[in-house]
Amino acid sequence: MNTPTSNASSRLTRRSVLRAGLASTALVKMVHAGTAAKATHRRPNIVFLMGDQHRGDCLGADGNRAIITPNLDRLAKEGAHFRCAYTSVPSCTPARAGILTGLSPWHHGMLGYSRVAPRYPREMPRMLRDAGYYTLGIGKMHFHPQRNTHGYHKTLLDESGRVESKEFLSDYRKWFRSVAPNLNPDATGIGWNDHRAKPYVLPERLHPTCWTGAEAVRFLQSYRGAEPFLLKVSFARPHSPYDAPPRWWKRYEGVELPERVVGDWAARHAQHGKPYGNNLWQGDLGPEKPPQARQGYYGNVSLIDEQIGRILEVLQQRGEFENTLIVYTADHGDMLGDHHLWRKTYGYEPSARIPMLLRWGDGFCAADRGQVLRQPVELRDLLPTYLDAAGIDYDPSLFDGRSMLEVIRGKAESWREYIDLEHATCYAPENNWTGLTDGRIKYIYYAPDGRQQMFDLEKDPGETRDLSAEPEHQETLRTWRRRMIDHLAERGGPFVVGGDLGLRPTRTLHSPHYPTNVTALDARSTIRRPMRESESAYPT
């Protein structure tokens, strides 16, 4: 059993976890008045901050000199920055399934973009709730049905323009209607997957990022529960629309933003993808388009950073800062025109590499601050990390992820060597691939035709030079191909055929572990019906 906390008195036994779970509903209370009181929780709070489509290089802490992210940079300076953090399936819903379950794509069942299952045998908010935490999710959850809480006591939703049932109206849109009944929340006029950018045309206070930040601050100011809390704050930006408010738009006007990166292999993506119009997934739009998109994108990142600053300030005012694990990450990145590609679902760094920042309190983790770590981590590692921080005994064999606090504490001897990446067909038939990376070398295999790519990320972080066909790199290529075969071996055909990587002209959207039977006790041992393609036909 894993007993990771440094404070033995705060540890929960399995019996006390069960007892706390039975009592948690009766114990949890939210009082929305009164003055702030100093924290007395014996177990740490968890503030889980998350951007949508935030690429890993858009942080000052990552070496980006153009972007303004002082609060995120503070988390890195006072905590740890995992430089080689990835999302295994770089699109919204499978990434969120990994966060929920602590499992790899094959084991949670989502190999591409479809619906998060209604329930999994083990879910992050449900496990913490059962252990006596008050759990609240604010912002974009991207669950199905949309009001499914997956164990959160409560969710306050900003689902952008996504409406899956006639009666659904997000909490953000309800609020918008109440405070600005004569205005249109979509008045800026650019779409949810648009490559265009434009300043937000409404008063800044109405921007969804500001609403999400304000709701988080309101909770932190008013919470009086006896229990520690898990607060997830999930911003719907910097995902398009690239609609930064005017003051942030102007802040990046005339700033020398990073130019698009175009590899020596990228000409195949120069033709505009059809039939997406402004929502295209590939296409050479000329050198002027990426900087315009980045102006809006960078502005939205900075607006999120500003809201995070408000959250950190309230934690300090309430005396909770040193009793809280604070995490910032994202579900995936954004190509922003690099290699003539837009949006996500690709194995390249702008799409697959994400921020991963952790800041802990002295009371429950003794470790050096300001660490920059190169161990490959992934979204599946969040759930074990939270269980570790909370001092909850758990069986590590139930998860594919591991606690990142192990690495932070200097116990990384047996950490994974590399992480798996993949995405089932999306946008076009050729975009069906699997990959591996250790943050230094990346290998990608395209299943429809067997094409391979390999990049040296240390010498070529922009992935401009494909090494897969160069004679001097064939031994390295064989090593990584063999690793891919070993990784996919448990899947059998058509992933591995005759001891080698198989061709897959059609996509496999779900593994047999996808939990269509929501009452099953073990997602790894029950074979279930895959979701029909018609069930997943809605835009990312």
**H or E element that contains 407:** helix 404-408
Q: Whose CA is closest to 311, among 216, 186, 425, 187?
A: 216
236 three-state secondary structure? strand
Residue matched to tokens 């690429």: 55
CA distance linking residue 353 with residue 381, whole number of Å? 15
Given 92, 210, 365, 426, which residue is catalytic? 92
CA distance linking residue 51 with residue 480, whole number of Å? 31
Peptide bond into 185 cis (omega under 30): no
* Other beta carbons less than 10 A from residue 179's beta carbon: 12
290 three-state secondary structure? helix
**H or E element that contains 295:** helix 289-317
Strand ranges (E), 356-396: 356-359, 371-373, 377-378
- Tell me the CA distances in angstroms from 417 to 79, 110, 336, 353, one per residue in order: 23, 23, 29, 16
Q: Look up 207 and say whether it is catalytic.
A: no
3 state SS for 59-70 = CHHHCCCCCCCH
Cβ neighbors of 510 (< 8 A, separation 6 or more) are: 109, 110, 111, 114, 530, 531
Asked if 289 and 337 touch (Cβ cutoff 8 Å), the reply is yes
CA distance linking residue 524 with residue 146, whole number of Å? 25
CA distance linking residue 469 with residue 265, whole number of Å? 11
510 three-state secondary structure? strand
170 three-state secondary structure? coil
Given 142, 340, 423, 513, which residue is catalytic? 142
CA distance linking residue 329 with residue 316, whole number of Å? 21
Task: Tokens for 271, please give them.
Answer: 């033709």
C-alpha torsion sign, points 330, 224, 23, 171: negative
Q: Look up 142 and say whether it is catalytic.
A: yes
Annotated active-site positions, please?
Answer: 92, 142
